[in-house]
Structures are given as structure tokens and as C-alpha cells.
């Protein structure tokens, strides 16, 4: 079957990116954009979409196309030189964006268009862009006096620098710690792939024996399988004190002051634009409209899940005491004894699944799945330039073999790469001179790499993570909206953006889909029915504790921004302790500095929005229930999801999109059922 190739000229040339050239290139583009904006605003005739909004869309997209690959490299292949230039350029971009958001002439021009007779003739996406812009001008303080605007501009500069500093501190602190082990008996119970990784880590550093790191695949596996309690504590303490005043690198990359400055600035920014607090300011662009609505939602889930979590925690305590006479049990013991308890209760360990999830089989199965749902085809293109030998590029085609999108996939943990998993945009869909510029995504994870002749083998949790991030990619790539600012994930309220990603996760649990997602890497055998049943039986193991952990994070984040008082000393630690006392059932060591590595809210976009994961999970569970009713691969239902959710992007209210798909507003019932909480 013949497929058109993605053209390299439409994509970044990563090998040509020279850090020394980045700053002058960005400066030149910003100067060009400022000149273009001045020309646009100097027009004498009435403002129209074509002479006002379209040039703005073009300017935004051209700048994004230049900045996206540079920002991405800063996250996945950082060098000292790249970090230095990134920190030089970031203030230039912040200043430029602040200028736009405070440009009164531009605001008046867009407002004039919004109130003109032409507005009614525009399509829904065009109208949404204009409405969003007017809203954002007001949120950016367009009505403020000159001195307050100047203050706001300074604060925006400062907070972008602080968020970057937070992330850099966390990366440096994570990479600074290693635990060398020379006695083979200490690591004898590590799963084979984790053991190979520890050996490889040691060799890479010129050391004997085994090296464990704070990269999550190494750390989390070690905590579940190391028999030596002292080693588990050493790892746990190093991990939970990263970027703090405590731990093995105490004070070296301390985020404490950074966090407090970020909170103070957010609070002042919100008050400058006449909100009581940053939480209320954040809700101005979300599905949820009031703080009370968010807190009620989260607290109702706490009430439903806490009794279950309390029993689950007591079960671990009883088990550890019975097995090893352990009393009391500490935080660094919980993963270890939870793993053993699961093995005893279900005769099952998630590691037993790993041989059935070689990476190429998982990817091929995931691509087969979306073909069944949406009729799209995905083909690898080996001739596209990438930034690392492990990175791959794929193109997406519709059922008529027409090109739709492309994506880079970067799956393995390595030095100088930010921890975690995420999707980001490389290119957005747009139409220029009658031709479509196709959307392109970055999909990034941090799995254990292939070792020797053995392929990368994923845990089931990692398969779920991959499907989650690919759901974000599909949302970005399958859009049919030709305007970047409301196409794909752009313009989607933050508490709805996790909807398509969480929807994809449900397919990781279905035997029907696992039959083409999973195959033993040596024999090609399907996942045995007996092993699958054990996995399903164990699905809700400690579901209450897992739910409560996410709710603790969400309540901490939201209340931190809702209740912030600039006169309070150490607001982060004080509020975190308050939330833990109300929500958590597991005692946390005094030295734990979780907040110092909470990059979602201090280094990313989830401030006063971490609740979005649970909020969107209501949407995703209820949407998936429609597939359960009609057939999980039903093409009619898949087409309805594609056209009503994925293709419309941010061009309309997500509740309107959900109702168009489901026929009604969402209910919480499916979420509770899938979580094992009734």
C-alpha cells in the first residue's frame, strides 16, 4: 500500500540547531513580528478576519515553529550551553507575549471586530479565537493603569524564570545521586531488566557492581524489590528530599525559596487583575467555574475512597507484621510489602507481565487499536532527522491514505533528560495558501531502555502511560481545525485536556485489545488467560490508596493557591501538613519534601489545576462506558468520538462536545465503577 511521505522540510532540522545562533534567530523573529503587528494595526479600513486575526495566527505559529524544537531539546537533551541560552531567550519571549497581552490598540481592534457585522459571518472556530483573545486580554490586565501593567509584566518575567529554575534544580538533584551496590546478594531479587539496567548504569560510570539512580524506572523498581530495608530507606530519603534543604545534596539545588516566590508572584498577579487569589484566577479559563465546585468534587471523592484506603493500609501493616514481625512500618517499606501482599493475595506480580510487552509489539498493537476505532493508519518513516538515535518518527494517514499528521517518539530514560512522561506540540495544523500544514507531536517517556539483544520490555503501568500520552497526541494530531490557537489541544480548558488521554487507558485492560498489544518477546505467545485474569483480579489492589494519593495532591495544589497568605511563614509545608492530616492515611516522614519536586504545579502548567486529572477522568470513564455499551471497537461510536471530541480541538466548549458525543452530561458512576469504589 502506498503512502505519501512526510517532508523533512516541513519539520525541524535538529542537527542544524546551534545554541550560539538561537538568541539572534529568536530576536530577529520577534522584531519581524513587532513590525508586522504595527503594520496590521496601522490599517485605515475596517478590521476583518483576514487583515487582523489571520496575520496574528501566522505570527504565533511561525514563532511556535521556531521555539518548539528548541524548548523540546532543553527538556530531552540538555547541555550547559543549551540551558544558558534557553534562560537568555525565555525572558525575551515573556516580554513579547506580555506586550501583546497589554497592547490596548490590539485589544480595541479585536473588540471592534467582535462587535462588527462580520463576526456573525465567521465560523465557530474563528469566533472562539476572538472570544478567547478578549477574555485573555482582560485576564492579562488590559484595563490596568500603566504602573500596574509594568508591575504585571515584571512579575510575568520573574515567574517564567522561576519555573525554569525549579525544573533545572529538580533535574540536577535527580541526576546527582547514585547508589552503588557491590554485593550481588543485595540485588538478587531485582527483576532481570532492572538488574541489567543497574549493571549498565555502573559500567557507564566506570564503577564495579550495580548502580541505582533516582530516575523513576530504577528508583520505583528498587523500592519494590530490594530486601535490604536500609537501602530502601536510603533511596527513599534521597528521592523525597530532592531539590530541598535536606538529603544527600542538602541545600545544593533547594527549591524551597523558589516555590515560595512562585506562590507570592501568582497571588500578586491574580490580585492585580482583581481576583481574590490565584485559584479563582485559574478557574476563569476552566470548565469548573468556582472554587466551591472543585473542592466539593474532590472532597466527595475523599469521603468515598478514604475508608477503603484505611483498610488497605491496615492490611499492609498486618501483613508486614505477620511476615517479618515488622512494627512499625515506614514509608520506604510500603512498596516492598505491597508487592509481596499482592503476590500472596493474587499469585501475581506486575513484573510477570513485562515479557509480554516488548515495545514494538505494544506500539504495533496501539496503532492497530486506533485503526479499528478511527480508520487511521500509522507508518514509521526512518528518513526523518531526529535528536537521538533512540528517537523514531511516524506518520498518520486516514482511511483514504491521505496524510493527517506525524509524531516523534522518545521512550527511554537517559542522562540530561527531564523525568516523567509528556506530550508536546512540534507543529500545529493550519491552512496556508490552500495547502494544509500537518500537525506534529512530541511523545516523550522515560522507560527502561533495551539492554543487549533484549528489546525494551514495559510494565503494564508503562503501557498505560504510553497509551495516555498517545491519547494527548491523537487529540493534537487528528484535529480538523485549521487555526493553531484552537486546534488540537490548544484552547481546550485545562480540566478537560486529560479527557482523550485518560480515555485511551481503558483499552489497556481489555482482553480483546491486549490480544494484539501483548505478545511474549521470545515466543510470540499471547497473554495467557490465567495471567490476564490475575491482572484483572489485582486491578483494584490498593485502589483506595491510589485514589487518595491523587486527591491529596489535588487538594494541596488547589488549596495552596486558594488560601495563600503572603504573611504566612512556610506556606507550602504548613498547608501540605494540613491536607495530609485531613486526607492521608499513611504517616509521612518529617524529612519528606514532596512539594520540592512537584513539577506539575511549580514547573509546569497545572497550578491550581491538578484536580484536572480527576475532573477529566469523570468525562473519560463516562465516554468509555458508551463503548462498553456499543462494543469497544464499534466504528460508529469511534467515529462519533473522533468527530465530536478529537477533531474539534478547542474550537468549542468541551461540555458541548461531550453532550454531542454522549447525548447527555457526564455522571460520576462510571469512574467509581472503574476505580472499584462504589
DSSP 185: G
**Which of the residues 57, 78, 312, 469 is marked catalytic?**
469
Cα separation, 210 vs 200, in Å, equals: 8
Whether 281 and 139 have beta carbons less than 8 Å apart is answered as yes
The string of DSSP codes covering 249-286 is TTTTT--HHHHHHHHHHHHHHHHHTT-SSHHHHHHTTS
CA-wise closest residue to 404 among 634, 208, 642, 189: 642
Query: Is 530 considered catalytic here?
Result: no
* Measured torsion, CA atoms of residues 8, 11, 13, 18, in degrees rounded to the nearest 10: 170
Query: What would the grid cell of residue 367 be?
Result: 496503532
Please state, in angstroms and rounded to a whole number, the distance separating the CA atoms of residues 507 and 674.
12
The C-alpha atoms of residue 98 and residue 137 are separated, in whole angstroms, by 10
**Under 8 Å between Cβ of 427 and 65:** yes
Q: Is 543 exposed, middle or buried (0-12, 13-18, 19+ CB in 10 A)?
A: middle
535-540: long-range contacts, CB 8 A cutoff, minimum separation 24: 535/348, 535/350, 535/353, 535/460, 536/509, 537/346, 537/348, 538/342, 538/345, 538/346, 538/348, 539/509, 539/676, 540/675, 540/676
Looking only at the bridges linking them, the beta strands covering 440-447 and 422-427 are antiparallel
Closest alpha carbon to 542 in 310, 325, 358, 376? 310
> What distances in angstroms separate CA 281 from CA 99, 284, 295, 296, 561, one per listed residue?
20, 6, 15, 18, 10
453 burial type by CB count under 10 A (0-12 exposed, 13-18 middle, 19+ buried): exposed
Which position has the grid cell 559500567? 203
Give Cβ neighbours of residue 667 (< 8 Å, ≥ 6 apart).
618, 622
Catalytic residues: 469
Amino acid at each position: 500500500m502506498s503512502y505519501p511521505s512526510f517532508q523533512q522540510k516541513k519539520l525541524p532540522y535538529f542537527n542544524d540547531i546551534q545554541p550560539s545562533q538561537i538568541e539572534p534567530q529568536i530576536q530577529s523573529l520577534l522584531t519581524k513580528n513587532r513590525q508586522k503587528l504595527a503594520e496590521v494595526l496601522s490599517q485605515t479600513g475596517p478590521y476583518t478576519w483576514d487583515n487582523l486575526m489571520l496575520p496574528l495566527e501566522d505570527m504565533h505559529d511561525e514563532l511556535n515553529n521556531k521555539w518548539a524544537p528548541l524548548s523540546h531539546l532543553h527538556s530531552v537533551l540538555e547541555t550547559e550551553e543549551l540551558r544558558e541560552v534557553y534562560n537568555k531567550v525565555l525572558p525575551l519571549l515573556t516580554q513579547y507575549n506580555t506586550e501583546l497581552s497589554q497592547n490596548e490598540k490590539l485589544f480595541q481592534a479585536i473588540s471592534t471586530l467582535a462587535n462588527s457585522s462580520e463576526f456573525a459571518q465567521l465560523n465557530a472556530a474563528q469566533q472562539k479565537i476572538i472570544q478567547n483573545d478578549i477574555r485573555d486580554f482582560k485576564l492579562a490586565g488590559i484595563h490596568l493603569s500603566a504602573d500596574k501593567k509594568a508591575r504585571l509584566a515584571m512579575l510575568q518575567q520573574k515567574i517564567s524564570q522561576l519555573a525554569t529554575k525549579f525544573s533545572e534544580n529538580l533535574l540536577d538533584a535527580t541526576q546527582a545521586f547514585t547508589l552503588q551496590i557491590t554485593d550481588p546478594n543485595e540485588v538478587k531479587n531485582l527483576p532481570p531488566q532492572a538488574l541489567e539496567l543497574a549493571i549498565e548504569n555502573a559500567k557507564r560510570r566506570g564503577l564495579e557492581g550495580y548502580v541505582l539512580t533516582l530516575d523513576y524506572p530504577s528508583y520505583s523498581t528498587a523500592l519494590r524489590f530490594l530486601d535490604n530495608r536500609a537501602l530502601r530507606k536510603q533511596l527513599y530519603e534521597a528521592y523525597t528530599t530532592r531539590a530541598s534543604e535536606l538529603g544527600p545534596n542538602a541545600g545544593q539545588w533547594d527549591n524551597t525559596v523558589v516555590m515560595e516566590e512562585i506562590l507570592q508572584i501568582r497571588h500578586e498577579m491574580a490580585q492585580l487583575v482583581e481576583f481574590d487569589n490565584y485559584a479563582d484566577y485559574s478557574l476563569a479559563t476552566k470548565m469548573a467555574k468556582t472554587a466551591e465546585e472543585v473542592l466539593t468534587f474532590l472532597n466527595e471523592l475523599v469521603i468515598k475512597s478514604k475508608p477503603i484506603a484505611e483498610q488497605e493500609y491496615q492490611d499492609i501493616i498486618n501483613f508486614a507484621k505477620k511476615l517479618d514481625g515488622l512494627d512499625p512500618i515506614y514509608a520506604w517499606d510500603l512498596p516492598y510489602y505491597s508487592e509481596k501482599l499482592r503476590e500472596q493475595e493474587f499469585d501475581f506480580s506486575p513484573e510477570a507481565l513485562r515479557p509480554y510487552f516488548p515495545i514494538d509489539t505494544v506500539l504495533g498493537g496501539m496503532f492497530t487499536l486506533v485503526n479499528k476505532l478511527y480508520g487511521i493508519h500509522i507508518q514509521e518513516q526512518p528518513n526523518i532527522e531526529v535528536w537521538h538515535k533512540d528517537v523514531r518518527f511516524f506518520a498518520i494517514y486516514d482511511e483514504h491514505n491521505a496524510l493527517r499528521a506525524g509524531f516523534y517518539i522518545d521512550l527511554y530514560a537517559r542522562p540530561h533528560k527531564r523525568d516523567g512522561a509528556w506530550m508536546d506540540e512540534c507543529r500545529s495544523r493550519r491552512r496556508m495558501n490552500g495547502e494544509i500544514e500537518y500537525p506534529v507531536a512530541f511523545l516523550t517517556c522515560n522507560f527502561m531502555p533495551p539492554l543487549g539483544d533484549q528489546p525494551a520490555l514495559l510494565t503494564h503501568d508503562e503501557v498505560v502511560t504510553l497509551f495516555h500520552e498517545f491519547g494527548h497526541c491523537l487529540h493534537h494530531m487528528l484535529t480538523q481545525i485549521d487555526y493553531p490557537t484552537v486546534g488540537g489541544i490548544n484552547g481546550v480548558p485545562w480540566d478537560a485536556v486529560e479527557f482523550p488521554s485518560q480515555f485511551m487507558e481503558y483499552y489497556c485492560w481489555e482482553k480483546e485489545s491486549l490480544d494484539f498489544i501483548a505478545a511474549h518477546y521470545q515466543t510470540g505467545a499471547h497473554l495467557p488467560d490465567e495471567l490476564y485474569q490475575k491482572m484483572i483480579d489485582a486491578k483494584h489492589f490498593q485502589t483506595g490508596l491510589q485514589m487518595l494519593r491523587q486527591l491529596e495532591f489535588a487538594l494541596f495544589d488547589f488549596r495552596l493557591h486558594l488560601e495563600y497568605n503572603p504573611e504566612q511563614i512556610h506556606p507550602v509545608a504548613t498547608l501540605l501538613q494540613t491536607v495530609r492530616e485531613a486526607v492521608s492515611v499513611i504517616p509521612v516522614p518529617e524529612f519528606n519534601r514532596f512539594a520540592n519536586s512537584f513539577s506539575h504545579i511549580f514547573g509546569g502548567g497545572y497550578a491550581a489545576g491538578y484536580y484536572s486529572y480527576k475532573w477529566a477522568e469523570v468525562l473519560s470513564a463516562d465516554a468509555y462506558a458508551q463503548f462498553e455499551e456499543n462494543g469497544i471497537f464499534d466504528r460508529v461510536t469511534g467515529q462519533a468520538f473522533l468527530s465530536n471530541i478529537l477533531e474539534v480541538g478547542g474550537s468549542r466548549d468541551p461540555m458541548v462536545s461531550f453532550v454531542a458525543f454522549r447525548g447527555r452530561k457526564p455522571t460520576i458512576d462510571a469512574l467509581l465503577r472503574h476505580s472499584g469504589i462504589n
